A and B are shown apart, each in its own frame.
Chain A
């Protein structure tokens, strides 16, 4: 029985959804790495501040980077939640770690997005 007062309050979405999401978000980040790497390689001359910041300047790159940041945050959430679920059994401690993970992630995500959009 896993409903009512016996409901499991921390867990995965049991099955395909997270498994697939983990692969799609991971593949997206691999692709993003390739794009940034290509931009770095095709920058003429040494990559100084101008060249590096220039990669993230176009609007399409900002939009793509923003989407990838969200994707990777979700990827990290699934991965960290799996780690906690495997090693931490007491529900109270696990829930605390889940909350810490979300605060840590959302905080970093907000910072990264701010850096990106004020460029």
Chain B
């Protein structure tokens, strides 16, 4: 049997601990699974997102509640944790948006080569993580 025709490993019933940790995912694959994960996260946190919209926009009083949730915390949830969740939402939104625009770009330009998949994946990850760090620094008052 030559090197090329050698049987490649097949993953059927994927074991989360054995297979997922050893599976080499290319960057385009990371963008893809994170696109899905970020969407799922935003779906699960949807009531929180609507609450943020509600309190921030409804009245002066509710706006104070909205702001103090991030400084002094709200209920049993400390302010820093609210900021951390907000940061997760910021990342999720940015990644989902940029990965989505990447899809649209590929659809319109038929840019579906392996090389473009790789380079645009690097672009997507760099931009979403970079912007998240910049906005996160602002959120936590670093500048």
Contact = CB atoms under 8 A, between A and B. Distances in A.
Are A and B physically bound partners?
yes
Majority secondary structure of chain A interface residues (helix, strand, loop or mixed): helix
A38 interface: no
B58 A119 contact: yes
A53 B57 contact: yes
A108 B57 contact: no
Given A80-B40, A119-B58, A23 B101 contact: no
A111 interface: yes
A86 to B, nearest CB: 9
Interface residues of A, number: 24
Contacts of A104: 43, 46
A49 B60 CA distance: 6
Nearest to A112: B50
B50 A23 contact: no
Nearest to A56: B57
A27 B103 CA distance: 11
A75 to B, nearest CB: 9
Interface string B50-79: 100110111110010000000000000000
Contacts of B47: 107-108, 111
Contact of A111 (B50, B101, B107): B50
A8 interface: no
A115 B58 contact: yes
Contact of A112 (B53, B60, B103): B53
Interface of B: 36, 39-40, 42-43, 46-47, 49-50, 53-54, 56-60, 63, 97, 100-101, 103-104, 107
